[in-house]
A = this chain, B = another copy of it.
Amino acid sequence: MISNKNCIIRLSKYKNALVRFKTLGFIKIFSEYLADAVGVTSAQVRKDFSLFGISGNKRGGYQIDALITKLNSILGKNEIQNVVLVGAGQLGSALVRYNSFEKEGIKISAAFDIDPAKITAGAKNSVPVLPLDEAIKFIQKNNIKIAILTVPDVAAQQTFDILMAAGIKGVLNFAPIELKAPSDCIVNNVNLAVELENLIYFVNASLKTD
């Protein structure tokens, strides 16, 4: 089993780039061009593909349609992925309405919050915001395995523990905390302040050395 996160992220990027190429009317593509679109080397593209048994045609490149199909299948994009979101604050609410998820076949089935003021039954076509109490029941009933965690730092671990009890196996965590997770749950952290801080560091560093 491939366990290189960066490699899988590249597969997603290849897939996205291929969809754009297809939109432009292309039906074949060379590793060189795909590499360019994604910002890697062509050897990297071919190496990644070979890891997943994806092959093209010597001197003929790759068929875009077949390639998209293959990548979608590897990435589990043949069916809609249902996820839940916990913490309907500023960021959480924006993610609920963020249409890039829907475009990618990811559906936020429900949001949960502990604050009664945030609860909304959810008109049709809009995501309901339910009381946190109901999260375990909802998650189990709908057999959901993935959660987005956008609660404040101090609530992050305890909320995470609730998700574990509900059977969640993957969490996209926005709280700037290292969650203590059981070995059968995967946590991907997104820390926007740290990302910015990092950018600031490197910009400052490069401005200094000029």
Task: Judge if A8 is at the interface, Cβ distance under 8 Å.
Answer: yes
- Residues from chain B with a CB closer than 8 A to the CB of A101 are 192-193, 196
Contact string against B for A residues 111-136, beta-carbon threshold 8 Å, 1 for contact and 0 otherwise: 00000000000000000000000000
Instruction: Check B172 against A104 for contact (C-beta < 8 Å).
Output: no
In the complex, what residues of B have CB within 8 A of residue A54's CB? none
Q: Chain copies in the assembly?
A: 2
- With contact pairs A90-B97, A190-B192 given, residues A38 and B178 touching in the complex (Cβ less than 8 Å): yes
A208 to chain B, nearest CB (A): 9
Q: Tell me the residues in window 174-201 of chain A with beta carbons closer than 8 Å to chain B beta carbons.
A: 176, 178, 184, 186, 188, 190-201
* Alpha-carbon gap, A200 to B107, bound state (A): 12
**Is A66 at the interface (CB under 8 A from chain B)?**
no
With known contacts A37-B178, A190-B190, A200–B90 Cβ distance under 8 A: no
Contact of A193 among B74, B106, B186, B196 (CB under 8 A): B106
Name which residue of chain B comes closest to A184, CB basis.
B206
User: Can you identify 15 A-B contacts, CB atoms within 8 angstroms?
Assistant: A5-B198, A17-B178, A75-B197, A75-B201, A77-B197, A81-B196, A91-B94, A91-B95, A103-B193, A145-B207, A146-B203, A169-B203, A171-B199, A188-B198, A190-B192
On A, residues with C-beta under 8 Å from B are 1-2, 5, 8-9, 12-13, 16-17, 37-39, 74-77, 81, 83, 90-91, 93-95, 97-101, 103-104, 106, 145-146, 148, 169-172, 176, 178, 184, 186, 188, 190-207, 209
